[in-house]
Amino acid sequence: MDKIHILVSLSLLAIAVTLSVIDNYFSSLVIYLLGLFYIYLGWSEKKSNSRSALGFLLVGIFITAVTFFTEFYVGYINQDTIAILKENIASLKE
């Protein structure tokens, strides 16, 4: 892995941790980008037939899949919360 790949990986991780500490919604997007970057690393090192290529690929797929499904689930919870709030506002107006 080149030094630039290490720098990009660590900077994405630092940005994701910083955004999650300040409770920003963009932290999941940066974590998703980190997973995509690991998939890219695994794909680009595939030609060298190294074990690290498979490791990068699996870690990237895991990070990407977990982030995607958790964002889907959070969006589903938010939709239910908005529906409940709309019902409560409608009942208070009556």
Q: Residue 64's pLDDT is what? A: 94
Rounded CA separation 52/55 (Å): 5
Q: Residue 1's pLDDT is what? A: 64
pTM of the entire predicted model: 0.77
Rounded CA separation 39/32 (Å): 11
Q: Residue 58's pLDDT is what? A: 92
Rounded CA separation 69/71 (Å): 5
Rounded CA separation 49/32 (Å): 25
- pLDDT by residue for the chain (94 residues), tens only, comes to 678 888 988 998 899 899 889 977 888 889 999 999 999 988 888 877 777 888 889 999 999 999 999 988 988 898 889 989 999 998 888 7
Domain boundaries, given as residue ranges, for the chain: 3-93
